[in-house]
Amino acid sequence: MKKYLWLCLLPGLLLGCGKEKSSAAADAAVASADNASPAAANAGMPAETFTNPIYPNGADPWLEYFEGNYYLTTTTWTSQLVMRKSPTLAGLANATPVYIWSESELERCCNFWAFEFHRLKTEKGYRWYVMYTSGIAENFDRQHLSVIESEGDDPMGPYTYKGSPMPDSWNIDGNYLEHNGQLYLLWSEWVGDEQSIFIARMVNPWTITGERVLIAKPEYEWEKSGMKVNEGPEIIKRNNRTFMVYSASFCNTPDYKLGVIELVGDDPLKPDSWHKFDQPFFSRANGVYGPGHNGFFKSPDGTEDWLIYHGNASEQEGCTSTRSLRAQQFTWTDDDLPFFGEPVASGVPVQAPSGENGPLVTKVQGTQVQLVNKADGQCLVVDAEGARQADCAQAQPWTLDYTTAGRYRLVTSQGEFLSGACDADKGLQLSPWLNQQCQQWHIAQERDGWISLANAQSQALLQLAACVEPAPVEKIKDIEDIPQLDPVKASCAQWRIQPVGDVALLSAQSGKALTAADCSAVAGANVEQDEWHKRACQRWQFVSTQDGFYQLQSSANTNTCMTVNRASIVPGMNVEMGNCEGNHSQWSIDYLNDGTTAIRNRKSQLVLDLANCGVANHTNIAQSQWFNIHCQKFQLKTIP
């Protein structure tokens, strides 16, 4: 019951063939990762269990397992939608929070609750629809549902705002029901002193039509603890039966719980098509209080059903940030009813979902890239012929996917993973995902925009035995050639990560896209953030210039590049579209240990920065010193 919240309120490899050490940054990242996950660090073997709670402050959770990753959203109470992802359920505890959407406009902003994201088939293919509850800044009286749509099949976006099914009434906890080819909206609203569940037919994932029908209201005493509440309707299907699991009683009480209603008729719009069971299916137990607002997901191998929910650690905790994220497997009775059992006590080891540790071959969502070697400018290729460097025009891209603890994985379009010395006799190879450290890589920044990749298990650098170091070339000294304190790695061990195709640069603070203002992209046009509008001025191409540096060209006008005004090295100087000549129009990509990136100017060595950490459309972009804050971090998203 959220209306009164204010009351409670990712045979050719030289593995160690040289004695070269990874950079200090990579060493630190490896050490940090190993310290963060001692069980997984044991000989590179994955953890087999997790414990609840997985994550604190995890109210109103929604979780999907999709193409090799768990994706999680939880309530923020701000004007930002947050999403975390990890290849393991336990990894969500330390997963990077990325804001995939934000709002500042009064009719669409504020007090964000209960985000759910659903993959629905459209004429354009599959898209993700995030439905969330929002209101106004001052109070909770204007809470209502809104819907955003993904550009492609990546749950992390970018997203476009589509609309509100019911903008002029109080409605929360929206969910979809697909039945006999028709899409319906389920939600909760007030009728007198009762919070009840309604349904309506939809013409698309953000628009309802026809009558709004009340199908469930509090009837039993166990639904009336604190207040009379039915909310959070969630759908689960089995053997041609459809169940709606809902949350009952006031969330500020320890008796918040789950009930079940079954669709027993042909028409979901008829109240008598729904049968409510007279006893709760999931209630407080084992030191877990108020377990509710749940979701469902399948184990990675599809053999198990899992429950995700929030709960409190004491009777005194209520509808606040004390609610923590919890998960457990559930089963079915002989009568094909869901059997949730009791909440698993905190700290008790729970077996990880089946198939989480593979073997798994799957397409993974992420940035499409090529790995270009510094020694010869060729790309890394690993296939049936082994590992080699080949002409980049013939090399298929990799998907670069962040896992957790500073690690990345590289995945082929066929769903196989780049693995280093998992088998000492085979060296670098492609293999199914087995959740081992030898399948993960740390990225360290080197000089002049180059990077090195260190295997998370062996700490050996990615370097092919057949690679030949180029003859030394005497260079004219300039300010960029001042020797650094750290040793320069061999060229064969250095790479640049080349983004492929059109790329959106999404702020990790707001989820909004770097945009050439007014979509002109002419010289002098400002660079700012704006919500995703599918425009050419929001699509960027990374054009290699020299070493590991790129020009960032807008697809709206490839004759101009993102540049720093007046070639300045001063912090705070504006970033705009301009002439592509000069090192002030060149940028490197810093791959960070949290899976995001910083975009650094070659001349000034300053990074792109979102003014005042703002979330509003048209917030300005300038250059700044590096402060390691969300406003300076970006996601690179390949746009189909």
Active-site residue numbers?
A: 60, 231
Round to whole Å and give the CA distance between 304 and 514: 41
Name which of 186, 150, 183 is nearest 171 in CA terms. Answer: 186
- In DSSP terms, 557 is beta-bridged to 554
Q: What kind and span of H or E run contains 588?
A: strand 587-591
Residue 450 phi/psi, 5° resolution? -75, 160
Instruction: Please report which residue ranges of 133-270 form alpha helices under DSSP H.
Output: none
Name which of 243, 43, 178, 157 is nearest 512 in CA terms. Answer: 157
- In DSSP terms, 160 is beta-bridged to 149
Beta pairing, strands 349-351 & 451-455: unpaired
Encoded tokens for 237: 């299907």
Asked if 90 and 67 touch (Cβ cutoff 8 Å), the reply is no
Beta pairing, strands 441-445 & 338-339: unpaired
In the DSSP assignment, the letter for residue 620 is B
Residue for token pair 């979780």: 63
- Residues ≥6 apart with Cβ < 8 Å to 189: 169, 170, 171, 172, 195, 196, 198
Round to whole Å and give the CA distance between 268 and 274: 7
Round to whole Å and give the CA distance between 440 and 498: 19
Annotate 182-211 with DSSP letters as a single string: EEEEEEEEEETTEEEEEEEEEEETTEEEEE
Edge-to-edge strand order for the sheet containing 113-122?
A: 113-122, 125-134, 144-150, 159-163
- Residues ≥6 apart with Cβ < 8 Å to 344: 52, 286, 288, 326, 328, 350
Round to whole Å and give the CA distance between 494 and 26: 13
